[in-house]
Structures are given as C-alpha cells and as structure tokens.
Amino acid sequence: MKELVTFQVGSYANFIGSHFWNFQDELLGLFEDPQADMVFKNQNLDMDVLYRTGETQQGIPTYTPRLISVDFQGSLGSMSSHGTLYNQSSSLSSSITTWNGNVSTQASEPYKKNLFLQRLYDEGKEKVANANGDSQSEIQDTDVVNSLEESVEFWTDYSKVHYHPQSLFELNGSWVNPQEFNNYGIGKNTLSEGLQGDEINERFRFFIEECDHVQGIQFIIDDSGGFSGVGASILENIADDYTNVPVVLYSVRSPSSFINPKTRKQNIYSNLHDAVSFSALSSLCNLIIPVGLPSLNESRFSQFLNLQDNKLYHSSGVYASVIHSVSLPFRMKRIGPNGESLYECGAMDLYEGIQMLAGQGRQNYVAVLDACIPAPSLVGRVFKQSLLENLLPLTPETAYDVEDLQAIESVIVQGVLGSEEHEATLSEVKEAMETAYEKATTRPRFSHLSVSRCPLPILLPFPSIFGTRVGRRGEILSNPVSESESMSRRGSIDVHSIPMAARLRSSTAILPFLENRLGNIRKFGLERGSIGAEVLRNWGFGREEVEEIGENLSKLVVTLDPHQGYSSDSD
C-alpha cells in the first residue's frame, strides 16, 4: 500500500474536497452494507491510500482522511476546527484576568445546522433512541435536498465526513475581508509573517511521517486569489524537506472567478496574477492540471447536466467527481504480474502516472483534463457514439480538435455497465476503446487505459445537477423523464450512480492557456514602462524574478512546441 497525502487550499478547493471525501465515505459505507449492489461490494480499491487509522482518547477506533485543509477563519460554518470525533472544546470563559484586571469576552453565536446536518446528528443518536424506545422525528429526503439547494454557504454544510483534529486549518491575516485577499503577493506574505506556515508544516509532518510508503501528494488549490501564494509557500517548504515526494497539483477555479474586472487596471492586475500564480505553482510540482471553465451550464457539458454556475455547491460537485475518477488508478489494488481482476485494470502509482505524461526525468509539466459526465455506454445495443468523442475539456483556454501526433493520454473509465441486456466486461471495454482509437482522426503516440467496474455513487448531499435524460443508474435515456420546470434537475433521489470517464493528456491543446500567460507577463510586467511593474514590486518581485517567471512560462511553451522558439530574449 502506498499512501497519498491530500491538501485542499482555498475556499473553492475545499468545496471540491467536501464532495470528493463524501464519495469516499459513501463507497466505504456501501462496501460494508449487506443490502448494497454487488458492484459496490467489489470495488477493489484500497481506501488506506487516502485514509489513516487511529483512535480517540477514549480508545474508540477512527478512520479519517489523510488531509490538510486550509481556508479562511470562519469558513467552517457549524463545524469545529477540531473535527467531530475527538470532542476538543475551544470555548473560552466569559471573563479573562489580565494585569489590568478582568476583560470580558464575547463569542459569536454558532451557525445553525441545516436539515442535512441535523439529520446526520439525529442518525448518530438513533441507536440510543431505539434502545430507550423513544420516537424520532424523521426528516424527509426531499426536505434535505431542498434545504441544501437553497442554503449551502460553507463547504461543511454538506460534508458527511469525520476529520482528524490536525486536518482543518483556519488562516488568519491582516486583510479585512476575503475580497481583499485577491492576489498572489498578499497570500505569499500571509504565511511569511508569523508562525502559521510552521504550524501547517507540522501538520503535514504528522501525516506523512506515519506513512509506510508514501506515493505522493494530491494538492488541490484555488489559485484565483491569495491562496495561490499560500499554496506556493507550503509547496516550497515541502520541497525543502521532502525533495523526492511527487506532487500532482489541481489549480481550480469557480465560474464566479471568471467575472470580467470592471476597470482596465483591475484587468491588468488579474492577468498578472494569473501569470505569476501559474508560473510559481507549476515550478513547485511535478504535474499541474488547470481545472475550471467560465461556465459549465453554457458549455458542452450541459448536454446531460443542468446546474447553476453561481452556486459553488453545484460546479464543485462536477470537478470533484472528475478528480475522484482521475485518482482511481492510484488506489486500485494490484493483483500481481500473473493475476487478472474481474473488477479493475490499469493500476499505477502517482509517480508512474506523472512519468508517463511528463516523460522520464521531466519536472513541472502541465496536462489537460477532460471528462464525460455521465459516460455513454461503450458496448451493447445502446452503443451509439465513441466515448472519446464525448470527452470534453475541463481545462480552460484549450484548443479544440488539435491534431497532436505526439500526445500522451491516460484514460480512466469507471462504472460502464453497457445496456440492461448486456453488462460490459473489462475486455469488452478495452476492445471498445481500441475501436474508438482506430476510428479517431488522429491517435496519440501513447495511451494508457484504467477501468473500474465500480460507478460513481450519487449520495444525498450531492447537488441536483443532472438533466431529465439521465436515468437511475446514469444511463442516457431516449426520452426525458419530465418536461416540467420543477423537475428539470435530478439528484440523489432519482439518480443513484453514474458511469464516468476522465482523461489526462499531454497535448499542444494547452498552448493557448500557456501563451496567454506568457504574453501577459511580457506585456504588463517586462516591457519598459509597463503599468504592471509597480504592481509586481508591491507583490515582492524584482526585475530578475519577473524575468524568471517569463522564462519559466516560455520553457513550458517550448516543451510542447519546440518550433515556437520563445525565450525571454525575444522581447
């Protein structure tokens, strides 16, 4: 078993992470549930890769994510920063004695739990109530769904997972509100001042030093504002102490982060931040994967989805499901060189995945993330379209229909069931994918396929984002279930699981993304008399450091397209 340590840095990263851990918690429950579908009983996933075992001070066994979450102070809603298992109280007395006498203190009222969290709490007391013969008032599923759709404010509002006391870190700073925490420079300064960086390092050391054979770090970061600087500081410390631990980084953005700045000056600030943030983060990890479209509802993903871009609760569910799929190969149980599993194939560890996409010995590589939600059937009578044709990019600013003969792909397919008359075997999925590649206009230089029979479970706190053509098991229906507006979104009450497909690819399709950031740092940061030079100085960057940012971005472009001939000398 090779463990992964997960970081979630920033508000949107934690919205995604909350869904991600809900999926894992649900899979654990379904595995132990004697009434669950056998496809969940035979997951063949090693949950110890993501989870750690422990016990409370009372000796009660615990099983919690190997996670460090970093977010604003006050971002946990009704949840304590100590989690819910260890019952550590952070309450203060109403008066404190100092050299100047007594000082009264006031604590803010705790946030009220929504119906979902109330029901979780009630379920925890259910056994006691049953033993005493007490009756419990039941909260209906429909009421819980409506409550979540209307009231989610924090990522903890829909979290059903127990966290370790070392996992949840609330960030303090001199900024007045989160809106001021909007650039790389202010985030970088936040951890360089005080002891917060040291505390995060200690928490990471706690998790990683108890690992037997750590395979790497899964780093999810909201890089649209100051948290990119926070993440860079964390990664710098990790690089100093754990040089050989691979890092895969998902730089995530919500649709709301793409709102156009009101003034030209704000637009320049935003473009500079994007260039600086991406250059810094990409130089501190082995593989970086930009994730987040300006709109999911107006993209080609809306074919089978019906969500609201302005709700972080909605869009984060989509991105969490894809990150879950992409991470499956790192958690599959290896059968052995001569063994063959009926439930999964294509297992690999994080280092193998990085080296496959980036090449031997290569660092600081960028990949495109594609997905298909839900995935169409690959075999059976309902087979109509190639899965490859339905994989759509979740990485922004990518080029469509690129013919890249040097591309490398890692495709993950999970829960493909075929039709009701014929369930797909692993060999049939492989054959269908091979046929799809043969029919494709261009074929990548190398492709790796991972398949898991276990679909993505759609659990109660998951948002109602599926369209009316998505069936109970995620199958694509010929006719809509309902045409009424009130039933235009389907969720966990109607859809219990979905097949998924995701793909990571090393491709020239990412060049527009990289070239935009390279062009912006040159235009606004390096040109003589550029308006952004003073901004970058205020963020702590001298001329040489800005040139280094441009050189780093230039190298990423040249790696994918050597004929471009970009260099910092061509300004």
Cα separation, 241 vs 520, in Å, equals 33
Which among 12, 9, 6, 11 has a CA at the least distance from the CA of 293? 12
* pLDDT given for residue 125 in this prediction: 63
Q: Classify residue 131 as exposed, middle or buried by CB count within 10 Å of its CB (0-12, 13-18, 19+).
A: exposed
Reported as type and span, the H/E element at residue 216 is strand 216-222
For residue 163 the two structure tokens come to 């966290």
Q: What is the largest CA-CA distance in the chain?
A: 81
Cα separation, 111 vs 99, in Å, equals 34
Angle of helix 227-241 relative to helix 184-192, nearest 10 degrees, comes to: 50
pLDDT averaged over consecutive 10-residue blocks of the chain (571 residues)? Answer: 93 98 96 88 89 88 96 91 66 40 50 88 61 60 93 95 95 73 89 85 96 96 95 95 94 93 87 96 96 94 92 97 97 72 84 86 80 78 64 94 88 75 71 83 90 92 94 88 70 94 95 96 89 90 94 92 57 44
Cα separation, 226 vs 189, in Å, equals 9
The answer to whether the predicted template modeling score (pTM) of the entire model surpasses 0.75 is yes
* pLDDT given for residue 145 in this prediction: 94
* pLDDT given for residue 100 in this prediction: 45
* pLDDT given for residue 320 in this prediction: 98
* pLDDT given for residue 379 in this prediction: 57
522-529 long-range CB contacts below 8 Å, 24 or more apart?
522/550, 522/571, 524/268, 524/271, 524/272, 525/272, 525/275, 525/549, 525/550, 526/550, 526/568, 526/571, 527/571
* pLDDT given for residue 1 in this prediction: 62
Quote the DSSP letter at residue 524: I
For residue 463 the two structure tokens come to 């948002």
Signed CA dihedral, 75, 78, 80, 83: sign only: negative
Task: Please report where in the chains the tokens 């109530």 appear, as a residue.
Answer: 129
* pLDDT given for residue 335 in this prediction: 72
Return phi, psi of residue 50, to 5°: -100, -20
